[in-house]
Amino acid sequence: MTKYLIFFRHGKSDWDATFSRDHDRPVAERGVVAAKAMGKLLAAMDKVPDLAITSSAVRARTTLELAVKAGNWACPTTVTDDLYEVDVEQVVKFIHQQPDSCESLLLVGHEPTWSDTIAYLMGGGNVRVPTAAMACLEFEVETWPQVEYGRGTLLWLLPPKLFTQAKLV
């Protein structure tokens, strides 16, 4: 059996906006455009996940909401504090808790955690996930608890700039 894990970094945030704490930082206009483009792209690729879970941070929640709406995704979505200000070990533990009936899982979160987690799951290397980019890892496993160090194969890493500048989505 195969499981697919898509990491989606939140869209570019608006550092000039008024916010009282990092958790409340909103998405900038550039991030809005990119999130919508990535939502459409995932739908066009027929890669909409079975389940999408986002960090509770405003910029991550907004990114997922925009992508879902733009791509007309039909998957359930959930918001969690478990993907905000976490490390690789915590992300892996969170992945292990997901329902095995889900074959494709999308997580919306933050840097440097996404790059570090992807590198860990691939067994090493350097990865850089730009804002609003998506990366998909494939795992030849039957259950989410089998997702561990070095078991993932990177299928794709798609930065939105490739698609927005070319006006492909």
In this prediction, residues 38-45 reach a mean pLDDT of: 96
Residue type at position 21: R
The angle formed by the CA atoms of residues 66, 87 and 153, to the nearest 5 degrees, is 75
Identify the weakest region by mean pLDDT among 10-24, 103-117, 149-163.
Answer: 10-24
Residues in the chain: 169
Percentage with pLDDT > 70 across the chain: 97
Q: With b meaning 16 or more CB within 10 Å and e meaning fewer, what string describes 67-98?
A: bbebbebeeebebeebbbebebeebbebbeeb
Mean pLDDT for the chain overall: 95
DSSP state of 81: G
Q: What residue ranges define each of the domains in the chain, with the CATH number in brackets? A: 3-164 (3.40.50.1240)
Per-residue pLDDT averaged across 162-169, rounded?
69
87-103: average pLDDT: 98
pLDDT at residue 107, as a whole number: 98
Residue 40, CB half-sphere, CA atoms under 13 Å: how many? Answer: 13
**Long-range contacts made by residues 149-156, C-beta under 8 angstroms, separation at least 24?**
149/120, 149/121, 149/123, 150/121, 150/122, 150/123, 150/124, 151/121, 151/123, 152/5, 152/118, 152/121, 152/122, 152/123, 153/122, 154/118, 154/122, 154/127, 155/4
pLDDT tier at 158 (50, 70, 90 boundaries)?
A: very high
Provide mean pLDDT across the span 40-63. Answer: 97
Q: What is the pLDDT of residue 15?
A: 77
The answer to whether the CB of 106 falls within 8 A of the CB of 82 is: no
Q: How many CB atoms lie within 10 A of CB 101?
A: 7
